[in-house]
Structure 1
Amino acid sequence: MPVTAPASPRHAPVGADPAAPRGETLPGPALSRLRPVDREVLGLYLLTRAALWTTAYCTRWLFPSDGDARAPEPVLASFERWDWGHFLHIARDGYFPGEDGTGPGPGPGHGDNREAFFPGFPLLLRAVHTVVADWTVAGLLISFVAGAVAVVALARIAELHLPGAHAGRRAALFLLLSPCAVFLAAGYSEALFLAFALPAWLAAQRHRWPLAALLAAGATTVRISGLFLAAALAVHFLMTVRTRRRRAALLALPALPALLYFWYLYERTGDWTAWKHAQERGWYRHFRAPWEAWAQTWHEAFAHTQATGYAALFQADLAAMVLGLVLLALLVRRRRWPEAVYIALTLWALGTSYWYMSVARSTLLWWPLWIGLAVGTLRGRTTTTVYVCLVAPLSTVLTLTFLTGRWAG
């Protein structure tokens, strides 16, 4: 759980140097050449990628969709599922296929809710496809490179909490072994979002506000969570910067991609809330009170109304929500207000729909969790061993669930 480094006062912003005057830029660049700890983290990243692809190879032989199959499915087929289809269709055909914009695209009449996905990943996928012919390979390559950027940035943020104590390596390890880590390798948007969001947060800790705002804007092109990041950056800015007028305008930059996307959808559909309506149609994200959403999810998880696979994923989302609330409480207790704002907005967005969906998966984006675990477990090796022993089986099970096509959430 999030724990403040002993040398930092409780009221200090995350990563701030207590000895530095408020508003001064900390020494050293936010992003610089690779250091030994960065290379160590990248080595760990490559090992976990090799382990995941070994699992994917074995899965296609041991768990074929047809029990009587004599030949395995192509290995890439394991990653061509669910959200990937939406990203592929957007990248290949756009949001409104057909010359008249009435093709099998968005809208309740077509059953395709692709406008629920922000354009950042599909645009990059289309660009990479100009060089890499296979769409799936292009998507996996984006996530591979983005994941490497993300784990290095995560490690550097953790090192700000407790320099020289291997906090960065542990934070990366905890993220890469987390139950839903398979989504960092798939052609999904989590890795790309983190590749923008974590360097943005690192830049903010160094008071590089133009860079932080620009990177946060990149995160907002990828996921709505970029707006939650922007809110956290705004709180951090207000807590640490004296002269605010000249730089305050930077805080609006991350919202610009979302506004442009909503405007684009409005121009094509006449609906300023087309993104929200697509979420409601496709994923039952109608607003409900938090206690109603909890009750509905609990019912689906334990009332035997769903197939066991679906029920198990509802149970995972319930556990993730409890974890998120505990994390939020600890952040508030430690007065980590920027991170608390980010987690609070995330939990509100996920916890106020018809039922919980993708809450467990969203833990990948909760960087205060991985940093807090890393800092908290530095006091002894036992806690790290416990984490690995408990989480590794869950990660393996959920990875198999995804690779075999049984994931639904």
Structure 2
Amino acid sequence: MSATEVTRADSEEEPAVEEATEPAPPRKWTVRRLGSLLAPALIFLGIREFGLLVLTWMAAVTDRSVTEALRSWDGQWFLGIAESGYQGVPDGLVDAFGQRSAETPLAFFPGYPFVVRWLAGIDGEGGIGLVAASFVVTIVCGVVCSYALVRLGTHVRGGSRRTGLILVALFAATPMSIVLSMAYSEAMFCALAAWSLVGVLEKRWILAGVCCAAAGLVRSTGAALVLVVGLAAIVAIVKRRDGWRPWVGGVIAPAGLLGYLAWVGAQTGEWDGWFKLQERGWGTGFDGGAATVKFSLEALADARSVLEVTTVGLIVVALALLVIGIVRKVEWPLMLYAGAVLAMDLLANGLMNSKARLMLPAFTLLIPVALALAKRKPSTAVLTLCALAVAGSWFGAYSITSWGYAI
């Protein structure tokens, strides 16, 4: 065959047709995939359910109602505000000194009770009721928080999804995690704070700012979050990162907290009205930690109660975890947040019995523990978490059944 014929034959060949690429088939909802998706919620709910079982046992022993215990102390204030607003709180509710004025209810932030009121009235007449609504809001917020904690666990240096899941278990098992099942605002605040911190680490500034602003309407601890989001936004702006978003996130972040404090100031006629209410009604004010040190020494000297001695131990553990987190170089926004929460708690006087509960929002202190357990054998991690869950469940149940004072 001549060269001309070969060329003609090649030209007459059919051009190669590329195989069409078919779209990837949708992922099937296997049991394993569904379990992975639900793992944070199942871990959180499982540990909290165990805590409620322990509470049920201790309530029966002490002749207490479980429902009454779960809505006691601050829960009564939140439910009163949810039912009738700040002006209609029952007269029987008084401050720590047994007193009450028209302004006393303003000491409680509006975020949690207003959401409870909205949920209770969503079906109109014959809805689920305020008490049930308060528990639903608390539980849902706890689950929402658990997914944020998993994200934080994967973002920290040396972290992983396993670290995040262990972090969820530690959070659900902390000694005062009983409030994550009560008509208290901690679960809602922690959910908003955790997602705000996720926004900071992921440079999602709008998420960080909006969640921070909402958290500022739930608890005064929002000030710690405002500090972190604001400082992180300033760092991003100085380094010219992420365009206009850090500006917007930083501006939004303090809106909720400052807005409520300003409103209380207008209602009381004092620019620092909320702080004055706290001081007059609960003896709470900044004293540099003198009251905390005095309480700790006295509690250790005469061992007045299990709750007080354990509270001192928890304070020491919290401070140690803060130092460990800094030494291990856990991301600075997470450690700054934990340090600020501890400072707001330990450097103030007021009700010493509430110190352990007020440390709960400093959940980023648990990250070094989660990192350490994630490197251990699964059996070691599980046994450790089970022991912590048992101890934490007992202590939480004790605090609202056997202990006779407000937490």
- TM bin (shorter chain): 0.7 to 0.9
Counterpart of 1:296 (choices 294, 316, 328) is 294
How many angstroms does 1:81 deviate by?
0.4
- SS of 1:289's equivalent in the other structure is coil
Report 1 or 2 for greater relative contact order, CA contacts < 8 Å, sequence distance ≥ 6.
1
Query: 2:361 aligned with 1:361, yes or no?
Result: no
2:240 corresponds in structure 1 to 243
8 Å contact kept, 1:41–1:151: yes
Report what 1:209 is aligned to.
Answer: 205
TM-score (norm 1): 0.78
2:86 alignment partner, SS class: coil
Give the equivalent residue in structure 2 for 1:87: 78
Q: 1:389-408 deviations in whole A, cap 9, x for unaligned?
A: 65234313223224426253
The alpha-carbon deviation at position 192 of structure 1 amounts to 0.5
Q: 2 CA distance for matches of 1:61 and 1:321?
A: 30
The residue aligned with 2:87 is 96
Matched residue type, 2:154: E
Amino acid in structure 2 at the alignment position of 1:395:
G
* Offset of residue 315 of structure 1: 2.4
**What are the equivalent positions in structure 2 for 1:230-269 lying under 5 Å apart?**
230-240=226-236, 242-243=239-240, 246=244, 247-269=246-268
Single out whichever of 224-233 and 327-336 deviates more from structure 2.
Answer: 327-336
Checking the alignment, whether the CA contact within 8 Å between 2:200 and 2:229 is kept in structure 1 is: yes
Q: Which has the larger radius of gyration?
A: 2
CA contact (8 A) 1:113 1:281 kept: no
Shift of 1:147: 0.6
Q: Shift of the alpha carbon at 1:115?
A: 1.9
CA drift of 1:238 comes to 3.9
1:280 maps to what in 2? Answer: 279
Residue of structure 1 equivalent to 2:327: 333
Structure 1 Cα separation of the partners of residues 327 and 231 of structure 2: 17
- Describe how 1:32-43 pairs up with structure 2 within 5 A: 37-43=36-42
Is 2:168 the counterpart of 1:172? yes
The match for 1:12 is none
Task: Look up the equivalent residue of 1:297 and give its one-letter code.
Answer: F
Where do 4+ consecutive residues of structure 1 move more than 6 Å? 102-108
1:318 aligns with 2:312: yes
Residue equivalent to 1:28? none
Equivalent residue number for residue 11 of structure 2:
none
Structure 2 distance, partners of 1:111, 1:398, is 35
Structure 1 residue aligned with 2:132: 137
Structure 2 residue runs of 5 or longer lacking an equivalent are 1-32
Q: What one-letter code is carried by the residue in structure 2 that aligns with 1:119? A: P
> Deviation of residue 199 (structure 1)?
1.4
Alignment correspondent of 2:154: 159
What fraction of aligned residue pairs are identical, expressed as a percent?
24
| Structure 2 residue 145 is the aligned partner of structure 1 residue 146 | no
- Report the equivalent of 1:113: 104
Q: Give the number of equivalent residue pairs.
A: 360
Contact 2:186 2:361 (8 Å CA) reproduced: yes
Instruction: Please report how far the alpha carbon of residue 323 of structure 1 lies from its aligned counterpart in structure 2 after TM superposition.
Output: 2.3
| 1:147-195 CA-partner distances (Å, limit 9, x unpaired) | 1100111012102235655112111111112211111111111110122
Contact kept? 2:308, 2:353, Cα under 8 Å? yes
Residue 3 of structure 1 aligns with which residue?
none
The question of whether the paired residues in 2 share the 8 Å contact of 1:350 and 1:357 is answered with no
Alpha-carbon distance, 1:271 to partner: 1.5
Return closer, same or farther for 1:231/1:383 CA change in 2, 3 Å cut-off: farther
Deviations 1:274-316 (A, max 9, x none): 21122223332133232x2233212441344x9x4xx433323
Aligned equivalent of 1:394? 391
Deviations 1:9-52 (CA, angstroms, capped at 9, x unpaired): xxxxxxxxxxxxxxxxxxxxxxxxx9753411212223223323
CA displacement, residues 113-152 of structure 1 (integer Å, 9 cap, x when unaligned): 3222111111111111203442111100000111110011
Aligned-partner SS, 1:365? coil
Query: For residues 54 and 368 of structure 1, what CA distance do their matches in structure 2 show?
Result: 27
Alignment partners' CA distance in 2, 1:135 and 1:188? 13
**In the alignment, residue 280 of structure 2 is paired with which amino acid?**
R
Using the alignment, how far apart are the partners of 2:92 and 2:327 within structure 1?
52
1:204 positional shift: 2.1
Counterpart CA distance in 2 for 1:165 and 1:94 is 42
Q: Which amino acid aligns with 2:188?
A: L
Cα contact 2:228–2:336 (8 A) shared by 1:
yes
Aligned residue number for residue 339 of structure 2: 344
Local SS of the residue matching 1:358: helix
Contact 2:322–2:365 (CA<8 Å) still a contact in 1? no
Q: Which amino acid aligns with 1:388?
A: L
* C-alpha contact (below 8 Å) 1:227/1:254 kept by paired residues: no
TM-score by length of 2: 0.79
